[in-house]
Amino acid sequence: MKKFVMAAIGGTLAGVIASTQIAGPLLAEENARNSRVYEQLDLFGDIFERIRAQYVEEVDEAKLIEAAIDGMLTSLDPHSSYLSPQDADNMRMQTRGEFGGLGIEVTQEEGFVKVVSPIDGTPADEAGIEAGDFITHVDGESVLGLTLDEAVDLMRGPVGSEILITVVREGAPFDVSIIRDTIKLTAVRTRTEGSSVVLRITTFNDQTLPNLEAGFKEQVEEAGGIDNINGIVLDLRNNPGGLLTQAIKVSDAFLEEGEIVSTRGRDPADGERFNATPGDLAEGKPIVVLINGGSASASEIVAGALQDHQRGIVVGTKSFGKGSVQTVMPLRSDGAMRLTTARYYTPSGRSIQALGVSPDIVVQQPRTRPNAEEEDEGSAARTRSEADLRGRLNNDSLSEDEIRQIEEDRAKAEAAAALREEDYQLAYAIDILTGLSKLGPAGD
């Protein structure tokens, strides 16, 4: 018994000694690190005082400190930044769905401003700005060397004023003149193409889920009930994202159960998982999700969730690849700090950061060919059928109702063909839904 007690005591003492031996160097390293931090802060103070006292012109101390804070944040990644009180107000207006500007979501790449996507129906969209464009100059002033916020400030101005931006696309620069306007975002636009409901989500703000639910209900009622639609096209192309909460709600609207997205921060204990609740807005109808290089952030959460749960077929081109979460933290100055605090992961555990969501079916959007309509009309004119032949036999075996049905089906097919010229990717998505509806429900 004594041996056991002594061994236990001896082991405990050895453990205490070992812990002390390890803790000593760790504590010394922590103290050294803190000392270096304080030295750097002293260095910052010295530089700040030198600028105040000796810079060639008198400086605004508040702006100088704000610039230092912004520089510290923007050095972390392209999405962290300082928001002045005015910028913080602008951001809050954007999440409510109305703000002034050009209507583009931008990021920074290699010192230049890169367009993530134009927003539907905005001055930038109408001027032909496209996802992936680089903005190199604003009113003749180069944006190279500016922070993203500084470049964005150059593009801001009074509603109704003109701005000239230089755009580089596929290596070729050109100038685009845009008139600034008040941007009123309609989060979701709905319509019916044939028997398919198209839900075009342009942004994820406070109005996204209410707009989606109301718009879908309206289209279903006009179709005469859910049984009269063959599926849904969820169009997320050129959607730069927005609120994480709305992305979760939109995904949940079409999922009965399972994980939607998870976030993982620096500390594993800070991770969160968001799960679907019972109820499917589409009542099991097939879904095709459209994405492209302008689909980012919240759009990628929705596309990834529906893809991983095999609830939707993802069609289009690879998405933007913004897989990080920014938390907006209010500051005492009435400004705010936007800080990247986590990465998000799709239900299968995929991180799309810098990789994007890869579509199940890759479909490029072809550029409109000059005189395409005239070419098509010419080829149609050269096509002949049995009905064109002189002395042909008439089809007397069909009733008037059958002939009318054939004509209606032909009209739908011709409408789908016309849509291909206008929006090939959307037409492709609708063709998938039409094909699935011809197969009938599984198990029949």
> Among 87, 133, 322, 324, which one carries the catalytic annotation?
322
Token pair for 324: 């990080």
DSSP assignment of 319-366, as one string?
Answer: -----EEEEEEE-TTS-EEEEEEEEEE-TTS-B-TTT-PPPSEE---P
Verify whether residue 297 is a known catalytic residue: yes
How far apart, in whole angstroms, are the C-alpha atoms of residue 186 and residue 202? 7
Task: Determine the straight-line distance between the first and last CA of the chain, rounded to whole angstroms.
Answer: 76
Cα separation, 214 vs 222, whole angstroms = 12
142 as an active site residue: the answer is: no
Tokens of 126: 């109408």
Q: What is the Cα–Cα distance from 272 to 380, expressed in whole angstroms?
A: 57
Q: Which of 114, 252, 308, 324 is catalytic?
A: 308
- Token reading at 285: 């109808």
Phi, psi of 304 (to 5 degrees): -65, -40
Cα 209 from Cα 180, distance rounded (Å): 28
Q: Contact, 142 vs 135, CB < 8 A?
A: no
How far, in Å, CA of 338 to CA of 353, rounded? 18
User: Which residue shows structure tokens 């700005």?
Assistant: 129
Known catalytic membership, residue 322: yes
Contact 108, 121 (CB under 8 A): no
Q: How far is CA 150 from CA 106, 363, 429, in A?
A: 12, 36, 40
Cα 426 from Cα 38, distance rounded (Å) = 58
- Kindly state the tokens that stand for 20: 């002390």
**Active-site residue identified among 297, 299, 319, 324:** 297
Strands (E), 346-398: 361-362
**Positions marked catalytic:** 297, 308, 322
